[in-house]
Amino acid sequence: MKLAHKVAVITGAGSGMGKGAAILFAAQGAAVAAVDLDGAAAEQTAAEITANGGKAIALAADVSSSAEVQRMFDQAVARFGRLDIAYNNAGTIEKSELLHEIPDDDFARVLDVNLLGVFYGIKYAVPHMMKAGGGAIINTASVAGLKAFTGKAAYTASKAGVIAMTQVAGMQYGRYNIRVNCICPGIIYTGMSRAVHREQFGKELDPAIKGRISALRRIGMPQDVARVALFLASDDAAFVTGAPFVVDGGYTTG
């Protein structure tokens, strides 16, 4: 197993890409702290893992809170004894609006969750990883950080910031054997993407949709992202740091 004897903290683990990664990491031997703003959703993910013989705990935390992020890492280490992997995945998005029409609070909330949340996730993971002799940090960015999404100024800005911060952190912490990378998903079939699709098109997102959504003629699934996250978390990526990994089925090449 690729993550045997490793301890992973995964935010946004109550659904979507975070849940997919939590289940896969546990199946590959990691003890997982499944973190979500929705504590009940985190509990469900942890329960699914333990029901299948894995190790997991559920934690409720708002990643936009410095104190709560620090506490979630401390709780995970208190339970499992160390920290090897931090997957800063939790995120949010604003309604589609012209930039000048976005309410100040909505813009700030997106940056607080998507960018500050990653900052806190790195800040409080690093000391534990230094004690453990190294580790892997994975941040969720987006293809929106590479190719602007119309109507999503805050989301696009936050994800571009995650890519830049990942590169800086990768440079800074390599000397401590801590690797920092980010994943830039395209259109993935999650609750967030379904909500955005309903908002913009007034109908449900079809997981079998074809066309220009990707060069591979299908929508991405949480498992597609989880497998890349597993690579980055494992020793298979021992010489990989400071890099954005695009997982979009070729969407950004079109």
pLDDT tens digits, 83-119: 999 999 999 999 888 999 999 999 999 999 999 999 9
Instruction: Assign 235 a pLDDT band (cuts: 50, 70, 90).
Output: very high
Residue-wise pLDDT for 111-128, tens only, equals: 999 999 999 999 999 999
Could you tell me what percent of the chain has a pLDDT over 70? 94
Taking a C-beta distance cutoff of 8 angstroms, is the pair 246, 252 a contact?
yes
pLDDT tens digits, residue range 54-79? 999 999 999 999 999 999 999 999 99
Q: List residues with catalytic annotation.
A: 155
Fold classification of 7-187+221-246 (topology level): Rossmann fold (3.40.50)
Spatial distance between the Cα atoms of 229 and 60, rounded to a whole number of angstroms: 22
Looking at residue 197, its pLDDT comes to: 60
pLDDT of 246 > 80? The answer is: yes
Backbone angles phi, psi at 245, to 5 degrees: -110, 115
Q: Rounded mean pLDDT of 214-220?
A: 85
- Pairwise CA distance, residues 246 & 248, whole Å: 6
Against a cut of 0.85, is the pTM above it? yes
Q: Cβ atoms within 10 A of the Cβ of 109, count?
A: 15
Domain ranges of the chain: 7-187+221-246
Distance CA 22, CA 27 (A): 9
Contact by Cβ (8 Å): 90, 68: no
Beta pairing, strands 178-185 & 244-247: parallel
pLDDT (0 to 100) of residue 41? 98
Please write the tens of the pLDDT for every residue from 125-173.
999 999 999 999 999 999 999 998 888 999 999 999 999 999 999 999 9
